[in-house]
């Protein structure tokens, strides 16, 4: 038999390696940013066109490369960062595999211009699909500029596999933010299609966080600091009262490298235990410094996972350090000597829009009633303002036991129950008109969670939150599609602050939101002006709804069309719907039952969960045998 084993040609081997290193435009951004940092750059500019599908360019003022190095850098396993295997256990650089440039050049058109200090002329190299097309001297500033064009031009399957520009851009911004947060001392800029997305000057960590997430962030941060034999912990956590419902900014850096660790995340969550409202998630920017020899970052190709020698102690230390910081903050204002005074709130306030104070009159309030008045109708859900909740959380731990004990009891409205028990005795439920057409049957609420009513064949138990979501979802879907909603104009526009990336997302959803009844004024400089809102909402609910929307659609903003409408309707229905734990009065209960069974698809919530169950008289009978 003839020999059949051959060595793969370099360009094929590189393409295969590229599959691991370059998954999407954001992977290129990450590798190039890391190279610039390893090259000691103090200024880095990132230019992106069409979410990186057309162009990703990085310009740095780092140490540059000589002619030969420039040529060598595109070879596989060509690296200046390690020379032997032992170095792997003592890494101080981001890169070490020597694969990135070779892989990128295998699947794109790459143009490199670079000049080291002390050399008059730099070199320019053009590589297309691993082939060097041209190399010549050129005049270029000190440092390196690397342009990656037409990513995956030679692998159509990979190019087609890329997600929409919105999704790819989201990934790129994530990578940019991670690197920016790890290196506040490096000035960084980012442009997308000629618009500037970030302009971060070099400074302290706090300035960097504010530069990325917007001016309001400053007042939300609590510093964290601790030093032990095995780890140095520093950074900030976001005060519990600013915790977000479903999404937080959660960043861990180990030796200035962004990592993901569910285990360490758990340690931080544990420190917040009892301080956060239900389902809220903490936000944090935490930096751990450990001996490079005590970690292994080599276990994952994209290097966001890490293995620690002593995870257990790290967990304990992280938890107690964060807890300590939060405790300090709860007792007295934290003294932060590193604070940059220019970021203090009063100075920002001078240009801020002054909103008129709102006066809210609760007409149903009865000082002699010790139970909170039930709501007028399910159409008008009530939202607590998050800010005013803050102080109570301090005592939450103390009250928890009582609340739980109460919550586990079945809560009936005692008066009504007695009255109705007798009533239902003579007007037997099964004798009623039956069917789902109109609920004239008496309704009950069980545990502030279920609505119970009778039908001809037995009884129905409705999950109030899911059922209301279904009702609102169908209604919203119709409104958005037909663009038929009515708005209520606000006397004073509501001015809300968002980070640039969040604003970008909202901008994409603008049309859909307008179809539900929102009206927008100016959208600029991290602020969104809301001038009109859907009639079914109150002003106080608006920030919560938009927040929910942002967290629901964070990574996957569907392109225009049905899927966007659907996502919008789902998210809004979720935030407007009555919650589990809310007490509903009789009118609301009846309204909910009637509108649920008027739905096209009453049996499931928009997220496909059961909205109601029925128990037939037969089933009941069997139970009593």
Query: Which residue's Cβ has the minimum distance to ligand ADP?
Result: 95
Least gap, CB of 206 to ligand ADP (angstroms)? 28
Least gap, CB of 23 to ligand ADP (angstroms)? 16
Residues 6+ away with beta carbon under 8 Å from 306: 254, 257, 259, 261, 295, 296, 297, 299, 300
Least gap, CB of 80 to ligand ADP (angstroms)? 3
Contact 201, 213 (CB under 8 A): no
User: From ligand ADP, Mg ion, none, which one binds at residue 39 (CB under 5 to 8 Å depending on kind)?
Assistant: ligand ADP
Q: Of the candidates 263, 257, 264, 260, which has an alpha carbon nearest to the alpha carbon of residue 289?
A: 257
Least gap, CB of 100 to ligand ADP (angstroms)? 3
Contact 172, 24 (CB under 8 A): no
As a whole number of angstroms, the distance between CA 242 and CA 229 comes to 33
Binding residue (CB under 6 A) for ligand ADP from 14, 36, 57, 445: 36
User: From ligand ADP, Mg ion, none, which one binds at residue 175 (CB under 5 to 8 Å depending on kind)?
Assistant: none
Structure token pair of residue 453: 């009513």
Residues 6+ away with beta carbon under 8 Å from 402: none
3-class state of residue 376 by DSSP? coil
Structure token pair of residue 456: 């001809």
Q: Does 95 bind Mg ion (CB under 5 A)?
A: yes
Contact 208, 181 (CB under 8 A): yes
As a whole number of angstroms, the distance between CA 104 and CA 548 comes to 37
User: From ligand ADP, Mg ion, none, which one binds at residue 323 (CB under 5 to 8 Å depending on kind)?
Assistant: none
Structure token pair of residue 250: 């959660």
User: From Mg ion, ligand ADP, none, which one binds at residue 122 (CB under 5 to 8 Å depending on kind)?
Assistant: none
Sheet-wide strand order for 122-128: 131-138, 122-128, 109-115, 143-149, 55-60, 43-49, 187-192, 195-200
Closer to ligand ADP at the Cβ: 146 or 237? 146
Closer to ligand ADP at the Cβ: 69 or 511? 69
Looking at residues 55 to 114 of the shown chain, list those that interact with ligand ADP (rule: CB under 6 A). Answer: 60, 62-65, 73, 78-81, 95-102
Least gap, CB of 51 to ligand ADP (angstroms)? 22
As a whole number of angstroms, the distance between CA 389 and CA 577 comes to 20
Binding residue (CB under 6 A) for ligand ADP from 26, 39, 275, 505: 39
Q: Does 122 bind ligand ADP (CB under 6 A)?
A: no
Least gap, CB of 175 to ligand ADP (angstroms)? 15
Closer to Mg ion at the Cβ: 100 or 110? 100
Closer to ligand ADP at the Cβ: 100 or 172? 100
Residues 6+ away with beta carbon under 8 Å from 177: 212
Closer to ligand ADP at the Cβ: 78 or 599? 78
Residues 6+ away with beta carbon under 8 Å from 624: none
Least gap, CB of 39 to ligand ADP (angstroms)? 3
The site string for ligand ADP over 4-33 (x = CB under 6 A, - otherwise) reads ---------------------------x--
Number of residues that bind ligand ADP (CB under 6 A): 23
User: From Mg ion, ligand ADP, none, which one binds at residue 172 (CB under 5 to 8 Å depending on kind)?
Assistant: none
Looking at residues 133 to 152 of the shown chain, list those that interact with ligand ADP (rule: CB under 6 A). Answer: 144
Structure token pair of residue 603: 């049996």
User: From ligand ADP, Mg ion, none, which one binds at residue 116 (CB under 5 to 8 Å depending on kind)?
Assistant: none
- Dihedral through CA 89, CA 94, CA 96, CA 99, nearest 10? 150
Phi, psi of 106 (to 5 degrees): -75, -20
Contact 110, 127 (CB under 8 A): yes
Least gap, CB of 97 to ligand ADP (angstroms)? 5
- β-strand partners of 610: 604
Q: Does 100 bind Mg ion (CB under 5 A)?
A: yes
User: From ligand ADP, Mg ion, none, which one binds at residue 144 (CB under 5 to 8 Å depending on kind)?
Assistant: ligand ADP
Sheet-wide strand order for 284-289: 221-227, 232-238, 284-289, 250-254, 257-259
User: From ligand ADP, Mg ion, none, which one binds at residue 36 (CB under 5 to 8 Å depending on kind)?
Assistant: ligand ADP
Structure token pair of residue 432: 């009623």
- Among the residue ranges 35-43, 256-264, 431-439, 521-529, the one whose residues contact ligand ADP (CB under 6 A): 35-43
Q: Could you count the other beta carbons within 10 Å of the beta carbon of residue 420?
A: 16
The site string for Mg ion over 26-55 (x = CB under 5 A, - otherwise) reads ---------x--------------------
Residues in contact with Mg ion by the rule CB under 5 A: 35, 95, 100
Residues in contact with ligand ADP by the rule CB under 6 A: 31, 35-36, 39, 60, 62-65, 73, 78-81, 95-102, 144
């Amino acid at each position: 038999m003839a020999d059949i084993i051959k060595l793969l040609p370099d360009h094929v081997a590189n393409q295969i390696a590229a599959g691991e290193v370059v998954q999407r435009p954001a992977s290129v951004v990450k590798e190039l940013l890391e190279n610039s940092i390893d090259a000691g750059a103090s200024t880095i500019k990132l230019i992106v066109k069409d979410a990186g599908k057309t162009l990703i360019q990085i310009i740095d003022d780092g140490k540059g490369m000589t002619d030969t190095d420039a040529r060598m850098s595109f070879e596989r396993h060509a690296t200046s960062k390690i020379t032997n295997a032992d170095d792997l256990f003592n890494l101080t650089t981001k890169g070490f595999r020597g694969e990135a440039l070779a892989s990128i050049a295998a699947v794109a058109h790459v143009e490199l211009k670079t000049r080291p200090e002390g050399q008059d002329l730099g070199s320019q190299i053009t590589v297309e699909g691993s082939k060097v097309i041209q190399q010549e001297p050129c005049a270029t500033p000190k440092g390196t500029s690397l342009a990656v064009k037409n990513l995956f031009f030679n692998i159509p399957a990979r190019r087609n596999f890329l997600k929409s520009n919105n999704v790819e851009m989201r990934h790129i911004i994530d990578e940019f933010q991670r690197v920016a947060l790890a290196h506040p001392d490096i000035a960084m800029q980012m442009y997308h299609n000629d618009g500037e997305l970030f302009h971060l000057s070099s400074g302290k960590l706090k300035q960097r966080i504010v530069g990325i997430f917007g001016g309001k962030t400053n007042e939300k941060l609590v510093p964290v600091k601790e030093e032990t034999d095995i780890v140095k912990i520093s950074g900030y956590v976001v005060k519990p009262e600013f915790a977000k419902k479903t999404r937080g900014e959660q960043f861990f850096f180990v030796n200035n490298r962004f990592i993901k660790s569910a285990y360490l995340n758990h340690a931080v969550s544990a420190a917040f235990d009892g301080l956060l409202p239900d389902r809220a998630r903490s936000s944090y920017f935490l930096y751990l410094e450990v001996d490079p020899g005590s970690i292994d970052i080599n276990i994952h190709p994209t290097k966001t996972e890490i293995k620690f020698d002593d995870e257990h102690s790290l967990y304990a230390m992280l938890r107690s350090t964060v807890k300590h910081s939060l405790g300090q903050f709860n007792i007295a204002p934290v003294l932060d000597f590193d604070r940059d005074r220019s970021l203090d709130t009063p100075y920002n306030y001078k240009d801020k829009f002054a909103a008129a104070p709102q006066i809210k009159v609760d007409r149903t309030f009865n000082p002699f009633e010790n139970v909170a008045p039930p709501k007028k109708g399910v159409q008008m859900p009530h939202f607590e303002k998050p800010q005013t909740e803050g102080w109570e959380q301090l005592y939450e731990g103390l009250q928890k036991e009582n609340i739980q004990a109460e919550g586990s009891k079945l809560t009936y409205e005692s008066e009504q129950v007695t009255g109705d028990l007798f009533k239902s005795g003579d007007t037997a439920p099964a004798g009623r008109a039956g069917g789902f057409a109109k609920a004239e049957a008496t309704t009950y609420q069980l545990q502030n969670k279920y609505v119970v009513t009778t039908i001809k064949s037995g009884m129905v138990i409705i999950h109030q939150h899911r059922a209301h979501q279904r009702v609102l979802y169908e209604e919203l879907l119709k409104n958005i599609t037909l663009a038929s909603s009515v708005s209520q104009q606000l006397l004073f526009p509501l001015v809300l602050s968002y980070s640039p990336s969040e604003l970008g997302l909202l901008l994409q959803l603008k049309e859909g939101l307008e179809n539900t009844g929102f009206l927008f004024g100016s959208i600029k400089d991290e602020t969104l002006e809301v001038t009109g809102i859907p009639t079914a909402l109150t002003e106080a609910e608006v920030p919560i709804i938009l927040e929910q929307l942002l967290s629901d659609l964070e990574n996957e903003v569907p392109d225009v069309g049905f899927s966007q409408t659907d996502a919008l309707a789902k998210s809004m229905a979720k935030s407007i719907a009555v919650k589990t734990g809310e007490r509903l009065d009789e009118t609301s209960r009846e309204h909910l039952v009637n509108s649920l069974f008027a739905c096209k698809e009453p049996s499931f919530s928009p997220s496909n969960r059961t909205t109601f169950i029925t128990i037939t008289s037969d089933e009941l009978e069997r139970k009593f045998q």
